[in-house]
Amino acid sequence: MKPFTLEFDGFRLELGSGTCIMGILNATPDSFSDGGKFNTFETAVRQGIKLVEDGAHILDIGGESSRPFATPVSEQEELDRVIPVIETLSKQIDVPISIDTVKSGVAKEALNAGAAIINDISAFEKDPAMAVLAAKKNAPVVLMHMKGTPETMQVDPDYDDLMLEITNYLGSRAAYAVKKGVQKKNIILDPGIGFGKTVEHNLVLIKYLDKITSLGFPVLIGPSRKSFIQNILSKKGNTPVGPDNIRTEYGTLAAVAASILNGAHIVRVHDVEKVKSFTRIIDSIRNA
């Protein structure tokens, strides 16, 4: 695996020798996996601290759900959800905070409040001002592939050539970011597991993840508790398996393992404690 070094805002992340874990903190009432659990200031701050104590290298905070069929929230509501949490956590944790948003106004305030990374699931398409902001702030960015929008992405997604289309898209969005002034060394790519993909699409993406890594950027992947895992396990056992089911956690670990072995540098997950121990073994095998 090609190693990368991210240096920014007083932080340094070595990507490649060991898996970087991004802990998910959804400050929303309607996330697909943990909606409502951390949508108060106190619960969000507590969970953020726990994720870091459990071993997260990055804390990803979002205030708008991107689950299938989710409806957007106003910029002000998103700001109200995330800014107080970021302001508080940035003073209490020693890892970088990532803001998960498609709105440049939210990203700007989040960076001012103590966040250091922009995670844009629209890859700068939703709000072109995001690229300008990222360049000005010299902030690392995560650019993700999504077919459609959260409201439409799971309505019969179809591709002529899955890997070619996603690879070409991510390459073009990286080139766009560079053209807008974002340094190449600050770009991370995410193939967008579950964002406009069927179960089979997600499996193929993980299997052929090296196609994405061949673009020459660090790769982030987020299979944690995704519905493709639940669907596979439900079908095999003939009983529904939800996001909080222990079988879904086991399925997540399997997807994380395959992703790492196929080139992922960063894994975005809910259960950092389990994944931390798990990735130490997978990394040891990969580096043997």
H or E element that contains 283: helix 272-286
How far apart are alpha carbons 225 and 94 in whole angstroms?
26
Catalytic residue list contains 226: yes
Three-class secondary structure assignment of 211-276: HHHCCCCCEEECCCCCHHHHHHHHHHHCCCCCCCCHHHHHHHHHHHHHHHHCCCCEEEECCHHHHH
In three-state secondary structure terms, 43 is helix
How far apart are alpha carbons 31 and 278 in whole angstroms?
25
The catalytically annotated residue of 103, 108, 211, 226 is: 226
Among all chains, which residue has been given the structure tokens 């964002």? 195
How far apart are alpha carbons 101 and 75 in whole angstroms?
10
Read out DSSP for 102-168? S-HHHHHHHHHHT--EEEETTTTSS-THHHHHHHHHT--EEEE--SS-TTTTTSS---SSHHHHHHH
The catalytically annotated residue of 12, 207, 268, 286 is: 268
In three-state secondary structure terms, 71 is coil
How far apart are alpha carbons 107 and 115 in whole angstroms?
8
- From the number of C-beta atoms within 10 Å of its C-beta (0-12, 13-18, 19+), residue 71 rates as exposed
Catalytic residue list contains 46: no
Token pair listed for 154: 């799971």
Q: Is 89 left (phi over 0), alpha (psi -120 to 50) or beta?
A: alpha
Catalytic residues: 226, 268
